[in-house]
């Protein structure tokens, strides 16, 4: 597995995204067995970064991740947990309560990386970061980041955070280059911020084409693996694909071992133009 290191922390290029684990915006306990199978598979394969949020299945995703890690017997220091506070919880007291609730559901003493999930119009981010900074000082959160922030808001977050902003988690894929066009990717690369790409294969709806298929054939891989390999070929970029299928979970992980040639990378770059 390839890694990125920033501000003293090292993260795998490919982690496990937990959107839909345990349900969508509300819990769906009929998915528990399927969700736990996926999480167990990820841990057995070697995933160490798990990305969740209080919004995912209304917190049930966090519960299942915590349970899976305990059942697997992983040491807390051997896994890296990212979670997120919802836009409706950005006031000072609400941030503190949201984090406590996430810790309770995870049954953990700290969250490795805590993000503002989405910007919220009218939010007073100085109040939000006052609470986030306190969580870091109190040891309940190790590192801070944001998600879905444009360049202006990302710079504001940097100014308000007492510790480095570790990541901006945004959509990024072969078909979605919006955070290239708006300057977010370049700014992250120049300022030691990881861009965490979500929906890297368009939630499983990646459109194949002759270029992708040709490159996949050359590497004895599938087009999804090639799409992931292209994303993580960029410096300061990591990604968090999700799947319930153990075979796909393994294939996603193994995509980190694919070395695309300069010519192949150039071909794939041109797909978005």
Nearest Cα to Cα of residue 39 among 11, 67, 60: 67
CA distances from 234 to 2, 75, 209, 225, 237 (A): 12, 30, 22, 15, 6
Q: How many angstroms from the chain centroid is the CA of residue 63?
A: 17
Is 170 in contact with 184 (CB distance < 8 Å)? yes
In whole angstroms, what is the distance from residue 228 CA to residue 45 CA?
Answer: 17
Instruction: Please identify which of the residues 56, 114, 198, 253 carries the catalytic annotation.
Output: 56
- Burial category of 261 from C-beta neighbours within 10 Å (exposed 0-12, middle 13-18, buried 19 and up): exposed
Task: Spell out where 161-236 has E strands.
Answer: 165-171, 194-198
Contact 87, 117 (CB under 8 A): yes
Instruction: Assess whether 114 carries a catalytic annotation.
Output: no
The three-class DSSP label of residue 48 is: coil
Q: Where are the beta strands (DSSP E) in 164-262?
A: 165-171, 194-198, 237-239
Task: Answer whether 231's CB lies under 8 Å from 172's CB.
Answer: yes
Q: Which residues are catalytic?
A: 56
């Amino acid at each position: 597995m390839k890694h990125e290191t920033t501000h003293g922390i090292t993260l795998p290029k490919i982690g496990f995204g937990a959107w839909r684990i345990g349900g969508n915006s509300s819990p769906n306990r009929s998915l528990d067995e399927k969700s736990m199978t996926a999480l167990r598979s990820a841990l057995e394969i070697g995933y160490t970064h798990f990305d969740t949020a209080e919004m995912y299945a209304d917190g049930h995703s966090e519960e299942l991740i915590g349970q899976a890690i305990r059942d697997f017997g992983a040491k807390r220091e051997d896994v890296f947990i990212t979670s997120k506070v919802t836009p409706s919880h950005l006031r000072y007291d609400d941030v503190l309560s949201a984090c406590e609730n996430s810790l309770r559901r995870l049954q953990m003493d700290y969250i490795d990386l805590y993000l503002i999930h989405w910007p919220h119009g009218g939010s007073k981010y100085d109040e939000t970061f006052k609470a986030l900074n306190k969580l870091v000082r109190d040891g309940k959160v190790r590192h801070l980041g944001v998600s879905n922030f444009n360049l202006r808001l990302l710079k504001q977050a940097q100014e308000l955070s007492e510790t480095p902003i570790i990541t901006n988690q945004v959509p990024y894929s072969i078909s979605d280059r919006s955070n290239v066009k708006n300057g977010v990717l370049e700014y992250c690369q120049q300022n030691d911020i990881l861009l965490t790409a979500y929906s890297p294969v368009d939630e499983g709806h990646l459109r194949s084409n002759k270029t992708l298929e040709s490159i996949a054939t050359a590497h004895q891989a599938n087009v999804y693996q090639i799409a992931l390999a292209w994303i993580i070929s960029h410096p300061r970029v990591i990604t968090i694909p999700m799947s319930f299928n153990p075979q796909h979970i393994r294939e996603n992980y193994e995509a980190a071992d694919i070395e695309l040639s300069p010519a192949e990378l150039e071909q794939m770059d041109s797909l978005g133009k």
